[in-house]
Structure 1
Amino acid sequence: MTYQEKKSIVSLISAILIFVSYSLYLYPQHPEGGLGSTETFRYWGSFVLILTVVSIVAHILISIIFNIVFRITTKEKEPKFADELDKLIDLKANRNSFFVFIIGFLLAMGSLVFYQPSQVMFMILIISGFLSDVTGSITKLYHYRRGV
């Protein structure tokens, strides 16, 4: 298994673990107020902002730990360059990831058009962000395994 495949697997697993653990941690703190209360908007806003920061920091730490463990176990260095294949795979993964997020964004806005509670919009946005991250990692893994 190549470095890029291992990194994609670690990225996929870490994205799932970060999202699930953070959601399970913060879900019990959901406010009991009405659907349009200020506290509900505050909860969802802080949920998104804190999840973004926690996810970025956790991905950076996991990447550093992965590189250290990879170097210790294989005695190889991380590749310092990206060839055309790596760049093409990154572009395809970003395209698929953005596509999933845009579909989720449109669904979230559509939920407001159909008079759904604002909580539905926030949940769709959060889930589409998570799915876009997972889609990017799966796309990279797929293309490194099967080719472009």
Structure 2
Amino acid sequence: MTYQEKKSIVSFISAILIFGTYCLYMYPRYPGSLESPETFRYWGYFVLILLVFSIVAHIMISIIFTIIYRITSKEKEPGFADELDKLVDLKANRNSFFIFIIGFLLAMGSLIIYQHSQVMFIILIISGFISDLTGSLTKFYHYRRGV
């Protein structure tokens, strides 16, 4: 298995762990009422802290992965990206953005059909999570099967 395949698997698993851990941490803090100002504050806090937590955790996991990879395989990670790497990244980003845009449109559509605002936030958060997973799976697929 190549470095890129291993990295996409680690990215996929870490995205699940980060999102799951954060949701388990935030679930007990849910205010309970549907349309109170405290609920909007909760969802705003949820999204902003999730972004920061996710970015920091992904950076730390990437550094740890690189160190462990170097120790176990005795070789350096690739220092440059060739045409294949760039093409795989572009396809993964395209698929990831496509999933997020569909989620965004569904979230806005939930407001049109008079759903609670919480539904919009939940759809946005879940579509962001699924788009992250889609990007990792797309990278793994294209490194494994080719472009």
Taking structure 2 as the reference length, the TM-score comes to: 0.99
Where in structure 2 are the equivalents of 1:40-55 lying within 5 Å? 40-55=39-54
1:12 CA displacement: 0.2
1:58 and 2:66 aligned: no
Q: Which residue of 2 aligns with 1:122?
A: 121
1:4 and 2:4 aligned: yes
Q: Which residue of 2 aligns with 1:135?
A: 134
Amino acid at match of 2:59: I
CA distance in 1, matches of 2:78, 2:144: 18
Amino acid at match of 1:9: I
1:15 and 2:15 aligned: yes
1:118 CA displacement: 0.2
Amino acid at match of 1:66: F
Deviations 1:82-126 (A, max 9, x none): 100000000000000000000000000000000000000000000
> Helix, strand or coil: the match of 1:78?
coil
Q: Which residue of 2 aligns with 1:28?
A: 28
CA distance in 2, matches of 1:22, 1:57: 13
CA distance in 2, matches of 1:59, 1:71: 18
> Helix, strand or coil: the match of 2:96?
helix
> Percent identical across equivalent pairs?
80
Q: Which residue of 1 aligns with 2:95?
A: 96
What 5-or-longer segments of structure 2 have no aligned partner?
Answer: none
Q: Which residue of 1 aligns with 2:143?
A: 144
Q: Which residue of 1 aligns with 2:67?
A: 68
Total equivalences in the alignment: 147
What 5-or-longer segments of structure 1 have no aligned partner?
Answer: none
Amino acid at match of 2:30: H
Deviations 1:58-92 (A, max 9, x none): 00000000000000000100100110000000000
What RMSD in Å do the two structures reach over aligned CA positions?
Answer: 0.5
Q: Following TM superposition, where does structure 1 have runs of at least 4 consecutive aligned residues deviating by more than 3 angstroms?
A: none
1:37 CA displacement: 0.5
1:28 CA displacement: 1.2
1:18 CA displacement: 0.3
CA distance in 2, matches of 1:28, 1:116: 23
Amino acid at match of 1:21: T
